[in-house]
Amino acid sequence: MKALVALEELIKEDETHLKLVKKQLADHESGVNKLSNMIKATAETTLEETSSRLERNRQKLNELLQQDIQELEKQERLREAIQRKNYFHYQKTRIKRNITRTNDEKIEAMMIIDELPDEVGFEDEILFDVAEKSLKLHLSLHEGLDEQLKEIQTDFNDLLADLKEEDIQDLGLLNKQIVVLVLHFSVLVSNIEANLEEDGKEAFKGLPKFEDWWIEELWTNHQAYFGLYKWREIISKLCITTDQKQAWDVISANWISIKRYLYGKGALAFEYNYAFDTLIRSYAGLEEELATTSLESMESIIAKLTAQEDFSKYVSKEKHKYITPYVEFKRKKLNYQDTKGKTT
């Protein structure tokens, strides 16, 4: 339960903060580190508020851990039960009208209400504290991603169900990589789509299609490299934040690596490759171009572009750093003598 995790984290933070304040006041009393009157007063106030909040959160945590609904029902008085029921009955209404909290905090608070046991409720102040901590810990996000990951894994297993074990036994190491990659791809596309909508820009029309020959001829044809480069560049321009662009660099590199590895297996991996394509189409909307006219048109366009391109503009104007950090590390490990007679 998210409430338990967030409460435990709040308690840990308050315990740490309380320890620091007590030490600060103790050092003042002993003369080790004298505080100004203002700082001392602030520390004492903080000590009192933190102690009160810590005790309150410990009690609430204990209530969650030791909740016994039947026993609670026996002990509660009728008047208290009615007051409590009315308080929490209108809690979502109060939360929605709260002008001091962000929309994210309000939504998270209402989600926490929905998952709490019927007989356990948090007062508004505590609820917002828990909601804030839940957001900082990304508990909703992690919970949602975990469920989506399981769903993707189930779908992938279903897609592989009819394949013979001997045909995919050498590809088993890819299973988890593919599932995680599809999850990352799906999250990235969802984020891009959400950002475009928030910024009021043109609606997201989906990802551009890739072409199979770009993968197949990757090591032998510079036009295949250029096709992939342009394809990646188009998607990169859809990314708004730096995090999205960095994520796309990693995701696209992993996707190309897996696709190329499957091509190395030849026809034996066709069914597995098809399962991979089906999964990523379902969750990320990435499709392959199959229409002959479109394939021929794109081939013609890339041929013209590569004939006209000055590829030097894609290379850094700075001198290549051919002695990379890893080369330096390896030279040191091997005690390598370079051509200038120096030990690097």
Looking at the fold, whether 179 and 100 belong to one and the same domain comes out as: no
Confidence at residue 201, expressed as pLDDT on a 0 to 100 scale: 64
Same-domain check for residues 197 and 264:
yes
Same domain, 291 and 167: yes
Express each pLDDT in 31-51 by its tens digit.
888 888 888 888 889 888 889
| Pairwise CA distance, residues 84 & 11, whole Å | 25
Residues 120 and 165 in one domain: no
273 and 190: one domain? yes
On whether both 270 and 312 belong to a single domain, the answer is yes
* Domain presence at residue 321: no
In a domain, 178, yes or no: yes
Q: Could you tell me if 51 and 148 lie in one domain?
A: no
Domain finish residue from 137, 161, 183: 137
How many domains is the chain partitioned into structurally? Answer: 2
Q: Are residues 107 and 171 in the same domain?
A: no
Report phi then psi at 321, rounded to 5. Answer: -90, 75
Residue 165 has pLDDT above 80, yes or no: no
Segment 246-296, tens digit of pLDDT: 888 888 888 998 898 888 888 888 888 889 999 999 999 999 888 878 777
Residue 8 shares a structural domain with residue 108: yes
Residue 201 belongs to a domain: yes
Tell me which DSSP letter residue 119 carries: T
Distance between CA atoms of 129 and 126, rounded to whole angstroms? 5
The domain boundary, picked from 117, 137, 157, lies at 137
Count of Cβ atoms closer than 10 Å to residue 254 Cβ: 16
Token pair belonging to 57: 């959160």
The answer on 297 and 162 residing in a single domain is yes
- Are 42 and 117 within one domain? yes
DSSP code at position 232: H
Last residue of a domain, one of 137, 172, 206: 137
**What backbone phi and psi angles, to 5 degrees, belong to 30?**
-85, -10
State both tokens at 283.
């969750």
Q: Is the pLDDT at 87 greater than 80, yes or no? A: no
325 inside domain: no
| pLDDT tens profile 288-327 | 888 878 777 777 777 777 776 665 665 555 665 667 777 8
Record the tokens describing residue 282, joined without a space.
């379902």
Is 299 a domain residue? yes
Is 331 domain-assigned? no
105 and 192 co-located in one domain = no
Domain of 12? 2-137
| 212 within domain boundaries | yes
pLDDT bucket at 341, cuts 50 / 70 / 90: very low
